[in-house]
Structure 1
Amino acid sequence: MEELFLGFLTFFTSVVAAIVGIGGGMMLIAILPSFLATNALIPIHGLTQVSSNLSRAYFGYKDIEFSVVPKFLLGSILGIVFFAGILSLISLDYVPLFIGIYILLSLWSEKFNEKIKKYENYYIAGFFQTGLSMVVGATGPLTMTLLFKDFKNKDKVVATGALLMSITHFLKIVVFIYFGFLFFDYIGIIVCMIFGAILGSYVGTKLRNRIDGKKFAIILKIMLTFLAINLIFQVIIKNIF
């Protein structure tokens, strides 16, 4: 039953990501701590997001700007190597706390987003987006701000962003496999979530131009805020009280 629920949840978040371009991965990573062990949170989220983003890129492949991929890939490889070395220094119990704080800052702090915008080239965006995803899971806003500046076409932004996020999550999965994480232990959950992710990408792509993106983004922002606050309080209650 839990597998089916997570499959439906992934479907919904994948639809959100296909319509808006970002937010689905953040929503999913904010909810998963209630269902998965802390050590499985980032790896399973990453595998699911590969299927979500890669399928979204496939459904919109005609709009992908491939010229930015080599720059982003090089930065991503350097980022994943650097940040992988930090994982052993971080207590996994506090990963949901990092996730919650990151979501709130990206949603509400202009100063935080201004600092993100300083990394306005694809080498640096790849370095930080892929590297930081090892800790907080969903880092799409790092690249989406740059894509929105360079390309005015919404379909181009969504499709290209999906491909870049696919690279981010794929490299992350490789690292977790290297560290010995056994994805097969969660095969039932993974299959349901991947199916939901691909189906959600298809539905969201079809709905993208039929839904008011601005109103949808406001609702999404409110939902993500409540989810992030809940994550932070869960960690505080678990580790302090």
Structure 2
Amino acid sequence: MHIEYILGLISFFTSVLAGVIGFGGGMLLIAILPIFLNPSLIIPIHGITQLASNSSRMLFSLKNVQWSLLPKFLAGSIIGVCIFGLLLSNITTEYVPFFIGLYIILNLWSKRFSKFIKKYENYYFIGLLQTGLGLIVGATGPLSLTVLTKELSSKDEIIATSSMFMTISHLAKIPVFMAIGVSLSGHLNLLVFMVIGSVLGSFIGTRLRLVANNDKLILAIKILLSIMAVKMLFTIISLLVPFE
């Protein structure tokens, strides 16, 4: 089977997952891509595929997007692209997943930390981090999803608004990668299959989410975010303290 068909199917299933629970698809996809692609192609192809996945998921839930949050996130994203774009080849991000994981765990389950961080937590800063770090580590959607899960009470508003944020984050990657000379002209067939798979997956995932129980799905999002965060923590800890 051609790689285009394989990655098209994988894009479809990861997009269904993201359509239902709002995250996870991008992280799963970026974990799979190294099996099939040259390292230099992973972040650009992942970015375009996830742009298709998130923008289509947003369009399928357009009435649920909280547009009032857009200006702050967009302003932070522009600053993040400028800062991290300049540092792209000179920054080490080896331990970034540890701090993202710790932030998610504490923000979701510690009332004291949540109350403390709320004084400094805003969508300008979330936009800066999510979009800026996305240039380097790929899937950073849980950063904003963590905040949205605390502030919004509807699963559809949470996931639709998170999709809008991620659409901005992935759009911002395109001029940066063009500026540093990344060319995907030889991989257009692959991109077409992956984009089609992502859009179809968003459609199916959104339909499944619309019939899901609101409270149960929000709790599931929190639990799955926490599992992902714990995995991030232990991955970095195992690098620092190898277990024999």
Q: TM-score, normalised by structure 1?
A: 0.81
Superposed CA deviations along residues 190-219 of structure 1, whole A, max 9, x for unmatched, are 111100000000000011144564568868
Instruction: Please point out which of 97, 116, 127 is paired with 1:102.
Output: 97
Aligned ranges for residues 127-142 of structure 1 at < 5 Å?
127-142=128-143
**Mapped partners of 1:142, 1:23: distance in 2:** 12
Which residue in the other structure is 2:13 paired with? Answer: 12
Which residue in the other structure is 2:121 paired with? Answer: 120
**Mapped partners of 1:226, 1:147: distance in 2:** 21
**Mapped partners of 2:135, 2:18: distance in 1:** 20
Deviation at 1:77, TM superposition (A): 0.3
Deviation at 1:85, TM superposition (A): 1.4
**Mapped partners of 1:197, 1:191: distance in 2:** 10
Superposed CA deviations along residues 63-113 of structure 1, whole A, max 9, x for unmatched, are 11111001100000000110011211258xxx8x66xx7289638973587
**Mapped partners of 2:144, 2:7: distance in 1:** 27
Which residue in the other structure is 2:242 paired with? Answer: none
Q: How many residues align?
A: 229
Aligned ranges for residues 84-103 of structure 1 at < 5 Å?
84-90=85-91, 102=97
- In structure 1, list runs of 5 or more residues that go unmatched: 236-241
Matched, 1:35 2:36: yes
Does the residue aligned with 1:88 lie in a helix, a strand or coil? coil
- Superposed CA RMSD in Å reads 3.3
Instruction: Evaluate the alpha carbon distance shift between residue 112 and residue 85 of structure 1 in structure 2; reply closer, same or farther with a 3 A threshold.
Output: farther
Larger Rg: 2
Aligned ranges for residues 123-162 of structure 1 at < 5 Å?
123-162=124-163
Instruction: Evaluate the alpha carbon distance shift between residue 35 and residue 203 of structure 1 in structure 2; reply closer, same or farther with a 3 A threshold.
Output: same
**Mapped partners of 1:216, 1:67: distance in 2:** 23
Q: Is the 8 A contact 2:102 2:233 kept in 1?
A: no
Does the residue aligned with 1:180 lie in a helix, a strand or coil? coil
**Mapped partners of 1:200, 1:208: distance in 2:** 12
Matched, 1:185 2:180: no
Does the residue aligned with 2:23 lie in a helix, a strand or coil? coil
Partner AA of 1:110 in structure 2: I
Which residue in the other structure is 1:208 paired with? Answer: 209
Which residue in the other structure is 1:166 paired with? Answer: 167
**Mapped partners of 2:70, 2:160: distance in 1:** 12
- In structure 2, list runs of 5 or more residues that go unmatched: 240-244
Which segment drifts farther, 214-223 or 47-56?
214-223
